[in-house]
Structure formats: structure tokens, C-alpha cells
A and B are shown apart, each in its own frame.
Chain A
Amino acid sequence: QQQVKQSPQSLIVQKGGISIINCAYENTAFDYFPWYQQFPGKGPALLIAIRPDVSEKKEGRFTISFNKSAKQFSLHIMDSQPGDSATYFCAAIPTGGGNKLTFGTGTQLKVEL
């Protein structure tokens, strides 16, 4: 069953706008939440990650917000650029889970000029 739910499936944002992708997890204790970025024809690459003892983490234009009580986390891309156009996956690693990733279904982001 899907333990990490991601939305929206696709997203179109104007250049300079804010892109927001949401994820929610259920039923399982997770203790690490990475976001991956994937360009066409390439493998996913780690973008930013957060642990559940922190409510927010920012790296440049990318911010993760984490709500432990609601079991939700989101990625915000500020000042979105055409070069950000890619597929984004949220993921989670369960507590004691041997570093195994459970992925969301992905969001295709397109940033238009």
C-alpha cells in the first residue's frame, strides 16, 4: 500500500513564482524525509532532506516544512526558474528501516517564462 502520498501530480508555475508540493505519510514511523529531483533521462538526485525533530529546513530557494502532528511535509521552491522544471519525489525512511526509501508518486513541475 502507498505509505507516502504526494500531490499534485503535475504543476505549472510562472517564472518567479512559488512552487509548492505536498506529501503525507501514514501508518509507519519514519525518521528521515528527503526530497529528490529528477530530470528527464536521469536518475533522481537528493535535493534537500529533513528530520522530524525540525519543523523547517531551508537551502537556498528550497524549503521543507514539516508538520509532525499532521504527518505532512511539503517542498516550497521560491523564485521558481525554468531550470527547476523536473519531476520531484518526496520520500521517507522508516525508523530502523535499513536506509530503505519509500517514495511518493512524483510531481512533474513545469516553470514557464
Chain B
Amino acid sequence: NAGVTQTPKFRILKIGQSMTLQCTQDMNHNYMYWYRQDPGMGLKLIYYSVGAGITDKGEVPNGYNVSRSTTEDFPLRLELAAPSQTSVYFCASSYVTSGVGEQFFGPGTRLTVL
């Protein structure tokens, strides 16, 4: 199993450009998540999904969009990149039946907006 994979690893965007961060998991997990990590701030939840076709906002959703058409994929879309979106983005997945399930993280995408 590859686990959670993310592409690209690094990206530099200009202000106003758009891009999609890709996330795929091969563990048949029902839940998927997007976090951003800023220095000294921990990780903050952007969006999450409890299954294909179901998404919901996390703590910091502004400026982002997601979709979940399959169990495996959970892309994150930035429509109009801003310097405040410079961060490291992590995708995660978990299998949840009742209560909690361990979250498995991908290796991250480092995004710089100039």
C-alpha cells in the first residue's frame, strides 16, 4: 500500500493564479481531511469529507474548495492564490465506524505564493 500520496511536493504560484493539490489514498478509508501547517501554529483543518459526495468546512476554509467524487481522491482547489495561503498542506485519511479512527497523513505539499 502506498498510503496517502500527495502531488505536487512543491509549487510556487503567483498571486491570483489557481491550482489543485491532489490527494489519493489506497486504504479504502471513508474519511479524508485537508490541513495547513504554518510555522509555530500547528495544523489547522481546512475541509474534510466523511465519504464520497460529502464534504464540510473545517476551521480555515476561506479561499479553498474541495470535492470528493470517489473514495480514493480528495483534491483541494485554490482559486485565487494569495500570499496568506503560503503554507505546507497535508492530506490525511482515516477509517471511522463509530467514535474515532487514526488519521494517516501524506508527505505534504509546500506551496509558496509570491
Which residues of A are in contact with B by a Cβ distance under 8 Å? 6, 9, 31-32, 34, 41-46, 49, 89, 93, 98-101, 103-106
Q: Is the interface of A mostly helix, strand, loop or mixed?
A: loop
Contacts of A45 in B (CB 8 A): 104-105
A-B pairs with beta carbons under 8 A, tally: 57
Contacts of A46 in B (CB 8 A): 102-103
Report if A99-B43 is in contact (Cβ < 8 Å); known contacts: A41-B107, A43-B106, A43-B108: no
How many chain B residues touch A (CB < 8 A): the figure is 27
Question: Which B25-84 residues sit within 8 Å CB-CB of chain A?
Answer: 31, 33, 40-45, 48, 50, 56, 58
Q: Separation in Å of the A96 CB from the closest CB of chain B?
A: 10
| Listed A/B pairs (5) with beta-carbon separation below 8 Å | A32-B100, A43-B90, A99-B100, A100-B45, A103-B42
B103 touches A101 (CB 8 A): yes
A43 touches B41 (CB 8 A): no
Report if A100-B40 is in contact (Cβ < 8 Å); known contacts: A43-B105, A46-B103: no
Contacts of B44 in A (CB 8 A): 103
B94 touches A43 (CB 8 A): no
Count chain B CB atoms within 10 A of each CB in A6, A31, A49, A101 and give the residue with the most.
A101
Contacts of B40 in A (CB 8 A): 9, 105-106
Contacts of B100 in A (CB 8 A): 31-32, 93, 99
B96 touches A42 (CB 8 A): no
Measured between alpha carbons, how far is A105 from B48 in the docked complex, in Å? 20
